[in-house]
Amino acid sequence: MVSRRPNSQRSTPVSEPTVAEATDSIYASLRANNADIDAHIAALKAALAREGVEQAVFDPTRLAQNNRSGRKLMQAYFRQRGVSVRFSAS
């Protein structure tokens, strides 16, 4: 029989990204032609819930398509995945 330590005593804690880290990974994904974007959105959604934040805030100058159409498309895509997005004033 193998004995295991309880979850609270495991030696390697799993690091969960903060909202800022998840947002940065989304910027990187957008620059990389949306590579793994859904996984990054899920991580952002979890980080928002952990930190009690209602909306993700993005800087429009860091987006690949910084026009109204691109921002609205991004908002719709994130909204379908349960994340509310707003853009900071430039």
What is the pLDDT at residue 65? Answer: 85
3-class secondary structure, 88: coil
Bin 52: left if φ > 0, else alpha if -120 < ψ < 50, else beta. left
Contact between residue 84 and residue 56 where contact means Cβ atoms under 8 Å apart: yes
What is the pLDDT at residue 68? Answer: 94
pLDDT under 70 in the chain at which residues? 1-14, 90
Residue given tokens 């719709």 in the structure block: 76
Percent of the chain whose pLDDT exceeds 90: 77
Contact between residue 85 and residue 56 where contact means Cβ atoms under 8 Å apart: yes
Break the chain into its structural domains and give their ranges: 17-87
Record the tokens describing residue 39, joined without a space: 């996984």
Contact between residue 14 and residue 7 where contact means Cβ atoms under 8 Å apart: no
